[in-house]
Amino acid sequence: MIYPIVKFGDPVLDKPAAEVTSFDDDLKKLIEDMFESMYAARGVGLAAPQIGLSKRIAVVDVTFKENPDDKLVLINPVIVNKEGRQRGSEGCLSIPEFREDVTRAKIVTVRAQDLTGKFFEHTGEDLLARAFLHETDHLNGKLYISHVSALKRDLIKRKIKKMVKAGEW
Ligand code: NI
């Protein structure tokens, strides 16, 4: 099932998501649907609040179906280490049509649970590091525009307001 993507302005994107405690078949199905929804939206990462579900789940595939090993499921993820710095363009399925440069750590280690509830750690560099940070932010009710200057953020918000008024958001 493909879920519609929730856009900026929906309060579900602004609140911390709830811990996942039950690792059952419903969760498996939800993860499948999240990948399907992410691919349909042409994204490389998706957090559950973006489909309106306030749960600490994110899916990531930074090579977009190219390499099965790049398909990652992060349940209750926590960033445990950050190193270096990278600056690069970042976007979000919930803020379509906008992109901004964001400074992030270059190497990031995330600790999370898999579909069975087992804990694991994964270290990513560059785009994967960025995805870990971006998706974990989502689960904490934070969007990437919180990392850009207030000036740029206000400009984006003003443009979105206009689009909302015009029925284009
Ligand atoms: Ni996003």
Tell me which of 32, 100, 121, 135 is the catalytic residue: 135
pLDDT at 73: 98
pLDDT for 3: 98
Q: Supply the pLDDT for residue 154.
A: 97
d(CA 36, CA 51): 12
Sole residue written with tokens 């349909």:
40
The verdict on whether 32 is a catalytic residue reads: no
Classify 54 as helix, strand or coil: coil
Helix residue ranges per DSSP H, 44-149: 127-139
Specify the 3-state DSSP secondary structure of 120: strand
Dist. CA 41 → ligand 1 center (Å): 12
Neighbours of 87 (CB within 10 A): 10
Q: How far is the CA of 90 from the centre of ligand 1 (A)?
A: 9
120 Cα: distance to centroid of ligand 1 (angstroms): 23
pLDDT at residue number 151: 96
Q: Which amino acid is at 144?
A: Y
Contacts of 88 (CB under 8 A, 6+ apart): 101, 102, 104, 130
CA distance 56 to 39: 20
- Give the pLDDT confidence score for residue 138 in this predicted structure: 98
pLDDT at 35: 98
Q: Report how far ligand 1's centroid is from the alpha carbon of 46 (Å).
A: 6
Ligand 1 center to residue 109 CA distance, Å? 19
Q: What is the pTM of this model?
A: 0.97
Instruction: Please identify which residue in the block is written with the tokens 């398909």.
Output: 71
Per-residue pLDDT of the chain (169 residues; tens, 9 = 90+): 999 999 999 999 999 999 999 999 999 999 999 999 999 999 999 999 999 999 999 999 999 999 999 999 999 999 999 999 999 999 999 999 999 999 999 999 999 999 999 999 999 999 999 999 999 999 999 999 999 999 999 999 999 999 999 999 9
At 117 the pLDDT is 97
**Interatomic CA distance for residues 64 and 43, integer angstroms:** 8
